Structure 1
Amino acid sequence: GRLREQGQEEARRREEAELALREYRKDVDRAALARLELEKKVEALLDEIAFLRRVHEEELAELQASLQDAQVSVEVDVSKPDLTAALKEIRMQYEVLSARNQQSAEEWYKSKFANFTEEAARSSDSIRQAKEEITEYRRQLQARNIEIEALRNANESLERQLQEAEERSNGEIHNLQETINQLENALRTTKGEMARHLREYQDLLNVKMALDIEIATWFSINKKEINTSN
């Protein structure tokens, strides 16, 4: 009874540990998903910055191409008196536009880079926190596995002890049954011998009674003969 109660208690503790283990695994899965989402977000920001850089480089290339076309047009048509002024005007417009675009692009890049740096820092903190949580979950998971293994070993030990106790009990019951069978056989043998002795005693008693009767008869006859002689 006591061994069975201990086994049931160990089984209950094992079920509780396995339930806690499943919950920890769910938390680990959620942390892993959060880390993947953060990594995807960082990757998307990097792709966006690369795309905007390409757009800016293409705009600058188009402006440079426009300036080169204007220079070629001026060199071909040198007979016009206002070509130098037109070229200067184009150069001034290009420089103003280029400076404005360069300043705007730098400000945009600085803003984007600052936002990206801040977002990356937050993502890094989140990833670091997720890694710390995963490490803690792994530690707890390992502890739970050790506890479950210890409970499993204890349960197996109790089951072996219970089986050994049952085997010993069965062996003792078998031995006791053998002893009972031997005693019953001895009792039957004793009863048979007693019955035989009783029959022999009865036969001897019958012989004694017959002899007593015969002796009594003989004495009676002899007594009469003696009396007759006298």
Structure 2
Amino acid sequence: MPIFADDFGVKYKTELAMHQSVESDIHRLQKVVDDTSITKLQLEKDIGALKKELLFLKKNHEEEVKGFQIDHGKRMPPKSQDISKIMANIQAQYEELGQKSHEELDKYWCQLIEERCQLIEESTISAEIKDTETMFLGLRHTFQPMDIDLNFMKSQKVNLENSLRDMGA
């Protein structure tokens, strides 16, 4: 019985260590997710600021062109820029960056999960081997006294048969 108690103690400690390791990984990964969310918010804020700056620069450019036209006495047709194209381009770049970040996180999570599953599998196999060894030792301890009794009984049988032969002769 003490062997089984020791085995369960070892199993408990192993499982506890694995549990603590997984919990630690979860907390660390939660921090990564939080950091990524903060980065996303910062990038969205930066995009808003860049949009405002772009509008400001366009307005200044138009004023400079008008001033240039007045200074030179010529009327130049204003160069048209499609703000919706520019915005669509910025949005496409942002979405591409977000998709890339999402793919990297997915890859990281999948790799981490695969590593943890492999560790759990190895731990389970190791525990099964220990269980089998413990069971084998238990059976050996049970078998040895029986084997000794069998050998003793065989020798008694031989002695009794010899005694019978001696009496019959």
The bucket for the TM-score relative to the shorter chain is 0.5 to 0.7
Shift of 1:187: 1.2
User: More deviation in 162-171 or 45-54?
Assistant: 162-171
Give the AA of the match of 1:13.
K
Question: Which runs of 5 or more residues in structure 1 are unaligned?
Answer: 77-144, 198-230
Give SS of 1:43's match: helix
User: More deviation in 7-16 or 29-38?
Assistant: 7-16
CA RMSD of aligned residues (A): 3.3
Residue 179 of structure 1 is matched in structure 2 by 152
Residue 170 of structure 1 is matched in structure 2 by 143
**For residues 191 and 5 of structure 1, what CA distance do their matches in structure 2 show?**
51
Residue correspondences, number = 120
Q: Is 1:31 matched up with 2:36? A: no
**For residues 5 and 33 of structure 2, what CA distance do their matches in structure 1 show?**
42
**For residues 42 and 30 of structure 1, what CA distance do their matches in structure 2 show?**
18
Q: 1:190 aligns with which of 137, 156, 163?
A: 163
Give the AA of the match of 1:41.
L
Residue 8 of structure 2 is matched in structure 1 by 8
**For residues 31 and 187 of structure 1, what CA distance do their matches in structure 2 show?**
81
TM-score normalised according to structure 2 size? 0.54
Shift of 1:68: 2.1
**For residues 11 and 17 of structure 1, what CA distance do their matches in structure 2 show?**
10
Shift of 1:47: 2.6
**For residues 187 and 31 of structure 1, what CA distance do their matches in structure 2 show?**
81
Give SS of 1:10's match: helix
Shift of 1:63: 0.4
**For residues 33 and 63 of structure 2, what CA distance do their matches in structure 1 show?**
45
**For residues 32 and 178 of structure 1, what CA distance do their matches in structure 2 show?**
68
**For residues 23 and 183 of structure 1, what CA distance do their matches in structure 2 show?**
64
Q: Is 1:47 matched up with 2:20? A: no
**For residues 25 and 159 of structure 1, what CA distance do their matches in structure 2 show?**
31
Shift of 1:168: 5.4
User: More deviation in 34-43 or 48-57?
Assistant: 48-57
**For residues 39 and 191 of structure 1, what CA distance do their matches in structure 2 show?**
98
Shift of 1:33: 0.4
Question: Which runs of 5 or more residues in structure 2 are unaligned?
Answer: 76-118
1:1-230 → structure 2 map (5 Å cutoff)? 1-73=1-73, 156=130, 160=133, 163-164=136-137, 166-167=139-140, 169-194=142-167, 196-197=168-169
Give the AA of the match of 1:189.
N
Give the AA of the match of 1:57.
L
TM-score normalised according to structure 1 size? 0.42
Query: For the pair shown, which has the larger CA radius of gyration, 1 or 2?
Result: 1
Residue 88 of structure 1 is matched in structure 2 by none
**For residues 8 and 68 of structure 2, what CA distance do their matches in structure 1 show?**
90
Give SS of 2:154's match: helix
**For residues 8 and 132 of structure 2, what CA distance do their matches in structure 1 show?**
11
Identity %: 6
Alpha-carbon displacement from aligned partner over 1:121-162 (angstroms, at most 9, x marks no partner): xxxxxxxxxxxxxxxxxxxxxxxx9xxx8xx79x94x97466
